[in-house]
Structure 1
């Protein structure tokens, strides 16, 4: 299993942020300068939002460039391979390190913070999602129940596309910057 995630980590480090990542970072900065906030939450485990310039990103499925110890819970930045023989920097045990990401069957991270930010929102936008992985797929219903406008920006309609007030389809590198421009956040 570690080999698979080591390969994924190397691929993530070789990837570059696209225009959607950069547009979201600019919108986040622009809103902050106006006294607002763009809460950027992702199911992705890479750091492309951060490298695209985003200041604050909530990774509900964890971060591939972090590791944690299953023995003591110590978490730390990790840009290289994780090996079974590596000792935990917190407790020095070996064979206990894993990527700091959520695996199937595990609870996503930061759910309380996500729920709190959603209750404060005036717009909910889902970008590039299948609409089938819960609890994330349920946030559109939660937003609707709170009277929040919803929008899907996706390559094609998601499994829950009918729940959104608005939708724009096409590559995120085009739809995200255009949508943010229409909001005056480009």
Structure 2
């Protein structure tokens, strides 16, 4: 089944600034912080962390899961060293790679169709997963907002395209398959 992504532009390599990414697609989630320097400097600095999701949260409530993820993200964001520079007056933005079936309604929102990959979290199917994450970050007082929701294939395509203008396609062959 093909689901629209609402991503209609690929990275040019000119992107600059501090960006965060969150990847939820299995029994753990990954958080990434990257300082991009455009065509000349490309990636100035990068850091990441991986956090295992306890089994009980894979069968818990939506609020429990997203609060756990937001808490891990907050701990990661606390350690933003001086290699990373957020321009004055700008807010931390995060790209959210969500590797579950979602019916996207815009580039920064999407309704979970159903959980897969061993997850059976109550109260999430039929809801906007970006809203779930944003609400969890707000409950923690984390000054960050999701600016893009992508599946793992779109995330892979964007990352590869930043490095190489000739990249036009990405494929995921893992717990799920996506192209």
**Alignment TM-score > 0.5, same fold:** no
Structure with bigger gyration radius: 1
Question: TM-score, normalization: structure 2?
Answer: 0.30
| Higher RCO (C-alpha under 8 Å, 6+ residues apart) | 2
Question: TM-score, normalization: structure 1?
Answer: 0.29
